Chains A and B, each alone.
Chain A
Amino acid sequence: MFQHDRLNSEITLFQKIKNLDYILLISVIALSVISVFVMYSTDGGEILFHTKNHFVKLVVFFPLMIVVAFFNIKFWHNFSYIVYLLVIILLIYVSFFGIKASGSKRWMDVYFFVLQPSELMKIAIIMCLAKYYHRLKIENVNSFTSITIVLSIIFIPTIFVISQPDLGTSILIALSGLIILWLGGVKIKYFIYSFITFLISLPFIISFLKPYQKLRILTFLDPDRDPLGAGYQIIQSKIAIGSGGLNGKGFLKGTQSYLDFLPEKHTDFIFTLFSEEFGFIGSVILLILYSIIIFRIIRIGSISRSNFARLFCFGYAFAIFIYIVVNLSMVLGLLPIVGSPLPIMSYGGSSMLATMIGFGIVLSAKINHKQMIA
């Protein structure tokens, strides 16, 4: 009883371990292993800075995920608002005292690594909104007050992140929030109206974009207009992926990345390197792995008794999905270049930290799927 109280749970540790979702875990481990090998390839077939750090982060954050999973889902429900507020404070802190790099201020030094709070917001916003809709009476879902509150919850962090500036992450945060609105039952016609409004005001929005952001859109529409400048990344990425063919060029044999034609190969363009070396077959296998993860998260959501867990899982599954889609569409030349990492695969501590915490909460929902939350 004592033990149970401490862990805020009614089940034993043994049961918790037993109740972990092993399909999800194995898929995450498989992806992690792949990511280390790919990182090793970006380092030119040597264990250098990126490989080492990536490996260390996996070793640290994977147990963290298990720790998060062992907390009751109720605990995460209770702390959702606090987590959200904490991340907002971090965002404010960063906007004043953040580390500046390549023209944007989005990082802070937390002794052992450099934290990017906007990445954490991707999870925090799902938690916060899941709790809000969990508690909201269905009758009030479409009330003016609730929609105003919800939109504020979404737009406050989004504005902070945009002003860093970091368009990619802010879009992902906004989309992660909006999906909870959708799942929560906000009328479809509102979505349609806002979408139409968005389309109409698009020229207006574009006029507010920074010149480099406009350039990215122009470049996306026609990468060949400046093949050595703005269009370079996307052209080289397409060449790398296209030249991979069915089987790929082989591990450590991706000439595009090995010879430095590929920019940002550790982070946003990690899939390009993978696809060049492992080809169509490898890419499809990677996509299947991601699909399994998404499917498992949805499944965990659908067996959850509490709507908080359900909303969180469905929301998080969608978020993972949207990260993958945005990243892949970008490297495949289907979307303009917006900085967005590929979960687990890309180098970057904050992104991995957020992803692992997300998986942790999902696993907690699995362990405690019978848990009701008042």
Chain B
Amino acid sequence: MIKSNSGIRKTDVINRRMFIIGAAKVIVFVGIVARLFSLQINENKKYLTLSDKNRIREWKLPPTRGNIVDYFGNVIAGNLKVYQLHIIPEQVENFNYLLVRLKNLLNLSDKRIARINKLKAELKPWDSIIVSENLSWSQFVKINNYLYDLVGVKPVMTISRNYPFNDVYTHVLGYVSQPNEQEILDNQTIQERFVPGMKIGKLGLEKRLENHLIGTNAIQRYEVNAYGKRINQLEHQKGKQGSKIRLTVDTEIQKACGELLNEKAGSISVMDIYTGDIIAMYSSPSYDPNLFLFGISQDEWQLIRNNPLKPLINKTLSGLYSPGSTIKPIVALSALENKVIDTKFKVKCTGKMELYGQTFHCWKEKGHGWVSLKNAMKQSCDTYFYEVARLLGVDRLNITAEKFGLGKKVLGNYFDTEKKGLFPNTKWKKNNLGKGWVLGETLITGIGQGYIQTTPLQLCMMTAQIANGGYAVKPKIIVDSNPISYEDAKQSMESGLLFDTDTEELLDKKLFKNQKNIKIVQEAMFSSTNERFGTSYKSRIDDPKYQFAGKTGTAQVKRISKRERELDLELEQIPYKDRDHALYIAYGPYINPRYALSIIVEHGGSGSKAAAPIAKKLFKLIIDRHELRNKQSNFERITI
């Protein structure tokens, strides 16, 4: 009885205590449901985003660069399919065996093998290792033949920059290559679109127009697992190819320039005298930009770097030369404009001129006798121009020269390697050298020697502005969205004002006070090429269709000593470094002119022998291409 009593009491205790626990259980379960509710209902969005962030990863693919085309739409910087070889380590059965096989098949260097092994250690086993960036077709075929034996190897087709004309446009286009860290940091656009393996412009227009050419990345979205392995592709977003850029250049003429300067150091520029279109701009020697695409080999690089003819320098824009006698049209024009001389003004040339005890020599030792402007220009009489310069003074000459574009960059910001050159005046010397101007310096400036430094493109533009009747042109190498026809350009030029599309202001185009003076200079240049005893008479073309006017120049690279003058050595007898630069400027056709050019052959000897004959060959081609070009310019825009 006691026992059962105790049992009942115990049961009561147990039941009571159970009740308390039961209540606690309900509360705890409610708490858990509340927590579930807060995570799954209230914060669902947040966690859904986090879950997607976990599982979705984007892969950016290198963007496709825009094409660069010449005036006629020929691709001069395009894209090419290339074959690459990738290894996916996790699929490889025997890595070392595979490397030995590949080494034999592709002739890989030991260094390359070591690099692959290093990459293998760094990358995840499912990340592909690039064994070869650019397989030749025969290598690609070989690999495909042995593919059964090369487990884990994947031949891949991808797109790479390509310069179909090899070295023809190197100095204009530059080239693309892998960017370094600084280049990525400096350019916001590159930073945003960078993916390993992407190439960027390193030089020239490729660099300048990077943000236009670069294009947008294709994006692939993959679902990945916790280890970052791609499970399946969710989306592929196509990238946009970079903008197509059309240049003013003519590949046929550019190519001809290269052939004409073959194995010589020098430069040729050709310009439309009305529109300012640069038709050719060639610096010699050149090199093949395709070499840089997949990393240039040390040997090839040393070959380019150590070439004494300096292929790495864009001589057209960065080469600074004394213009020599090619400056004489500007000296003559300045003197005429300032009414220092007229066409009847004559000087007696005795072969030299004495000034304050210093002797200034004419190139012709015997002298030219009495010469007028026309004859002085024709025969390039130095004495005449010494006297004219003396009468004119360097400051007035400087004003005219700068008006015609000397001492200023021609293409503005397009090429960061472009040099300004120098046309001195008294103030410049005082400020920069701290000394007063000496009259003797005026004399040698009058024949394009001394402090004066010009780029070939400046000389070309100067010639163009004489040729078009004394109007300013705005040289350009990129065709803008509404290219102006030459007739329109000519018309607006002759109205004296031009609307500058870049700065959006009307420019005063007249570079002369009296257009007659321009005509006089033009006639003098004509006689220099087309009349007997003219310095470039041998290079003339009689057919009026091709007939051109020009001026030779021979720039000394060092002072000629008295002994040397007496020796009068032949070109071959002078060391290469000491030979004169040969220059030639010209425009044509003489009637209704359209094109101007400048030619410089470094250490080529005299302008009449080394430079002018090149112009003769080139003008035929330029004029022959004229019709085609004219037709092309009628198109508003070209679509390829």
Chain A residues in the interface with B (C-beta under 8 A): 133, 137-139, 179, 182-185, 236, 238-246, 255-256, 259-261, 275, 279-280, 283-284, 287, 291, 294, 298, 301-302, 307, 310-311, 314, 318, 321, 325, 328-329, 332, 334
**Cβ of A279 and Cβ of B40 under 8 Å apart?**
yes
Q: A287-B33, A291-B29, A328-B32 are in contact. Are A243 and B44 (CB under 8 A)?
A: yes
B50 proximity list for chain A (CB < 8 A): 239, 242-243
**Cβ of B227 and Cβ of A242 under 8 Å apart?**
no
Q: Is B18 part of the contact surface with A, judged by Cβ < 8 Å? A: yes
A244 proximity list for chain B (CB < 8 A): 40, 44
Q: A interface, by DSSP: helix, strand, loop or mixed? A: helix
**Cβ of B36 and Cβ of A284 under 8 Å apart?**
yes
**Cβ of A332 and Cβ of B224 under 8 Å apart?**
no
**Cβ of A310 and Cβ of B55 under 8 Å apart?**
no
Closest to A240 in B: B51
Closest to B15 in A: A302
A332 proximity list for chain B (CB < 8 A): 32, 35-36, 39
Q: Can you add 14 more A-B contacts, CB < 8 Å, to A182-B17, A242-B50, A261-B226?
A: A137-B6, A185-B17, A238-B47, A239-B50, A240-B47, A242-B47, A244-B44, A255-B55, A256-B51, A260-B225, A287-B29, A314-B14, A318-B25, A332-B39
B13 proximity list for chain A (CB < 8 A): 138, 183-185
**Cβ of B47 and Cβ of A259 under 8 Å apart?**
no
Give the one of B48, B54, B224 with max A CB within 10 A: B54
Within the assembled complex, what's the spacing in Å between the Cα atoms of A53 and B39?
Answer: 32
14 intermolecular pairs with C-beta atoms under 8 Å apart: A182-B21, A242-B48, A242-B51, A243-B50, A244-B40, A256-B51, A256-B55, A259-B224, A275-B36, A279-B40, A280-B40, A298-B18, A301-B18, A310-B14
B227 proximity list for chain A (CB < 8 A): 260
**Cβ of A310 and Cβ of B11 under 8 Å apart?**
yes
**Cβ of A245 and Cβ of B48 under 8 Å apart?**
yes
Q: Is B46 part of the contact surface with A, judged by Cβ < 8 Å? A: yes
Q: A138-B13, A256-B51 are in contact. Are A242 and B43 (CB under 8 A)?
A: yes
**Cβ of B21 and Cβ of A259 under 8 Å apart?**
no
Within the assembled complex, what's the spacing in Å between the Cα atoms of A133 and B10?
Answer: 9
Within the assembled complex, what's the spacing in Å between the Cα atoms of A139 and B10?
Answer: 10
Cross-chain pair count, CB within 8 angstroms: 124
Closest to B11 in A: A307
Within the assembled complex, what's the spacing in Å between the Cα atoms of A325 and B33?
Answer: 11
**Cβ of A255 and Cβ of B32 under 8 Å apart?**
no
Q: Is B9 part of the contact surface with A, judged by Cβ < 8 Å? A: yes
**Cβ of B41 and Cβ of A243 under 8 Å apart?**
no
B195 proximity list for chain A (CB < 8 A): none
**Cβ of A280 and Cβ of B37 under 8 Å apart?**
yes
Q: Is B223 part of the contact surface with A, judged by Cβ < 8 Å? A: yes
B29 proximity list for chain A (CB < 8 A): 287, 291, 325
B48 proximity list for chain A (CB < 8 A): 242-243, 245
**Cβ of A246 and Cβ of B44 under 8 Å apart?**
yes
B25 proximity list for chain A (CB < 8 A): 294, 318, 321
A240 proximity list for chain B (CB < 8 A): 47, 51
**Cβ of B46 and Cβ of A242 under 8 Å apart?**
yes
Cross-interface CB contact of B7 among A241, A245, A307, A321, cutoff 8 Å: A307
**Cβ of A243 and Cβ of B32 under 8 Å apart?**
no
Q: Is B295 part of the contact surface with A, judged by Cβ < 8 Å? A: no
Within the assembled complex, what's the spacing in Å between the Cα atoms of A329 and B31?
Answer: 10
Cross-interface CB contact of B33 among A242, A284, A314, A334, cutoff 8 Å: A284
Closest to A245 in B: B44
Report the minimum CB–CB distance from A348 to chain B (whole Å). Answer: 22
Cross-interface CB contact of B40 among A139, A256, A275, A321, cutoff 8 Å: A275
Q: Is B157 part of the contact surface with A, judged by Cβ < 8 Å? A: no
Q: A260-B227, A302-B18 are in contact. Are A280 and B51 (CB under 8 A)?
A: no
Q: Is B28 part of the contact surface with A, judged by Cβ < 8 Å? A: yes
Report the minimum CB–CB distance from A252 to chain B (whole Å). Answer: 14
Report the minimum CB–CB distance from B232 to chain A (whole Å). Answer: 10
Chain B residues in the interface with A (C-beta under 8 A): 6-7, 9-11, 13-15, 17-18, 21-22, 25, 28-29, 32-33, 35-37, 39-41, 43-44, 46-48, 50-51, 54-55, 223-227, 231
Within the assembled complex, what's the spacing in Å between the Cα atoms of A301 and B19?
Answer: 12
Within the assembled complex, what's the spacing in Å between the Cα atoms of A137 and B13?
Answer: 12
Report the minimum CB–CB distance from A160 to chain B (whole Å). Answer: 27
**Cβ of B55 and Cβ of A259 under 8 Å apart?**
yes
Give the one of B18, B28, B44 with max A CB within 10 A: B18
Cross-interface CB contact of A318 among B10, B21, B37, cutoff 8 Å: B21
Report the minimum CB–CB distance from A284 to chain B (whole Å). Answer: 6
Report the minimum CB–CB distance from A341 to chain B (whole Å). Answer: 17
**Cβ of B51 and Cβ of A239 under 8 Å apart?**
yes
Within the assembled complex, what's the spacing in Å between the Cα atoms of A260 and B55?
Answer: 10
B40 proximity list for chain A (CB < 8 A): 241-242, 244-246, 275, 279-280, 283
A291 proximity list for chain B (CB < 8 A): 29
**Cβ of B18 and Cβ of A239 under 8 Å apart?**
no
**Cβ of A261 and Cβ of B55 under 8 Å apart?**
yes
Report the minimum CB–CB distance from A165 to chain B (whole Å). Answer: 27
Cross-interface CB contact of B226 among A238, A260, A302, A328, cutoff 8 Å: A260
Within the assembled complex, what's the spacing in Å between the Cα atoms of A318 and B43?
Answer: 31
**Cβ of A243 and Cβ of B47 under 8 Å apart?**
yes
Give the one of B21, B37, B43, B51 with max A CB within 10 A: B51
Within the assembled complex, what's the spacing in Å between the Cα atoms of A85 and B165?
Answer: 93
Report the minimum CB–CB distance from A247 to chain B (whole Å). Answer: 10
Within the assembled complex, what's the spacing in Å between the Cα atoms of A133 and B21?
Answer: 18
Within the assembled complex, what's the spacing in Å between the Cα atoms of A255 and B57?
Answer: 14
Report the minimum CB–CB distance from B214 to chain A (whole Å). Answer: 34
Within the assembled complex, what's the spacing in Å between the Cα atoms of A30 and B43?
Answer: 30
Report the minimum CB–CB distance from B50 to chain A (whole Å). Answer: 5
**Cβ of B32 and Cβ of A287 under 8 Å apart?**
yes
**Cβ of B54 and Cβ of A311 under 8 Å apart?**
no
Closest to B25 in A: A321
Report the minimum CB–CB distance from B65 to chain A (whole Å). Answer: 36
B39 proximity list for chain A (CB < 8 A): 238, 241-242, 332
**Cβ of A259 and Cβ of B226 under 8 Å apart?**
yes
Within the assembled complex, what's the spacing in Å between the Cα atoms of A284 and B54?
Answer: 26
Q: A185-B10, A259-B225 are in contact. Are A334 and B35 (CB under 8 A)?
A: yes
Cross-interface CB contact of A307 among B14, B17, B44, B226, cutoff 8 Å: B14
Report the minimum CB–CB distance from A143 to chain B (whole Å). Answer: 14
Closest to B56 in A: A255
Closest to A261 in B: B226
**Cβ of B54 and Cβ of A259 under 8 Å apart?**
yes
B41 proximity list for chain A (CB < 8 A): 245-246, 280
Within the assembled complex, what's the spacing in Å between the Cα atoms of A137 and B6?
Answer: 7
**Cβ of B36 and Cβ of A283 under 8 Å apart?**
yes
B224 proximity list for chain A (CB < 8 A): 259
Cross-interface CB contact of B54 among A137, A256, A280, A287, cutoff 8 Å: A256
Within the assembled complex, what's the spacing in Å between the Cα atoms of A133 and B17?
Answer: 14
Within the assembled complex, what's the spacing in Å between the Cα atoms of A350 and B28?
Answer: 27
Within the assembled complex, what's the spacing in Å between the Cα atoms of A229 and B67?
Answer: 49
Please provide the 9 A-B residue pairs with the shortest distance between their CB atoms, ordered closest to farther.
A242-B47, A243-B51, A259-B225, A260-B226, A185-B13, A280-B40, A243-B47, A245-B44, A242-B39
Within the assembled complex, what's the spacing in Å between the Cα atoms of A294 and B11?
Answer: 19
**Cβ of A183 and Cβ of B32 under 8 Å apart?**
no
Closest to A281 in B: B40
A260 proximity list for chain B (CB < 8 A): 225-227
B51 proximity list for chain A (CB < 8 A): 239-240, 242-243, 255-256
Cross-interface CB contact of A179 among B21, B22, B36, cutoff 8 Å: B21
Give the one of A137, A183, A246, A301 with max B CB within 10 A: A183
Give the one of B7, B25, B39 with max A CB within 10 A: B39
B28 proximity list for chain A (CB < 8 A): 321, 325
Report the minimum CB–CB distance from B100 to chain A (whole Å). Answer: 35
Report the minimum CB–CB distance from B165 to chain A (whole Å). Answer: 50
**Cβ of B10 and Cβ of A138 under 8 Å apart?**
yes
Cross-interface CB contact of A280 among B17, B36, B55, cutoff 8 Å: B36
Give the one of A242, A279, A310 with max B CB within 10 A: A242
Within the assembled complex, what's the spacing in Å between the Cα atoms of A184 and B18?
Answer: 10
Within the assembled complex, what's the spacing in Å between the Cα atoms of A154 and B231?
Answer: 50
